[in-house]
Copies of this chain bind each other. A is one copy, B any other.
């Protein structure tokens, strides 16, 4: 992606599959919200749901749909989630299971992948603008995340540091972050398998029209 080597069809596959992850993010944050008894924590955390769902139809999720539309996909084909890879579905569902069944500390720690997001997003925005200029109208999602991700990550990082006092809790938190990395990584591997090499989308999954 960052080297400009993706075809339009591969970018469609990425945007369409990643939509399923995006669609589950506010549900994930609502689960975390539901697990805290601290109004201060809840107030800070609800910002994420507002950022994602917006005030009207103007949040991060809507922006992601606009990115998918900029790749040439009709909105309904994206929001139906009918053509996503089963492997992507399982990985995303494993994320919901992690925040639902782990401790609250683990749930919050699993969000810390955002610590590394802001520099990555800056690099990505630059690369997308340079290599895929026809995506320009769909880049609002990443532009908003440039400032949102570091704020969110700072709060979560401080909260985890404050609440993981024992060695055991610190290891739980670190393991939760590794599990979240696995979840993100697995989605990309499934996309690579289906749409790059060997390039075998499973039955029922999205197939690009253009190569």
Residues of A within 8 A of B (CB): 85-87, 89-91, 93-94, 97, 178, 182-183, 185-186, 189-190, 192-194, 197-198, 200, 202-204
Contact = CB atoms under 8 A, between A and B. Distances in A.
Contact of A86 (B85, B183, B194, B203): B183
Interface of A is mostly: helix
A54 B164 CA distance: 43
Q: How many copies of this chain?
A: 2
Which 8 residue pairs of A and B lie closest in terms of their CB atoms, listed nearest first? Answer: A90-B90, A86-B182, A193-B193, A90-B94, A87-B186, A86-B186, A197-B198, A90-B91
B90 A189 contact: no
A189 B97 contact: no
17 contacts: A86-B94, A86-B182, A87-B90, A87-B190, A90-B91, A93-B97, A97-B97, A178-B204, A185-B203, A189-B194, A189-B200, A189-B202, A190-B190, A192-B193, A193-B193, A197-B197, A197-B198
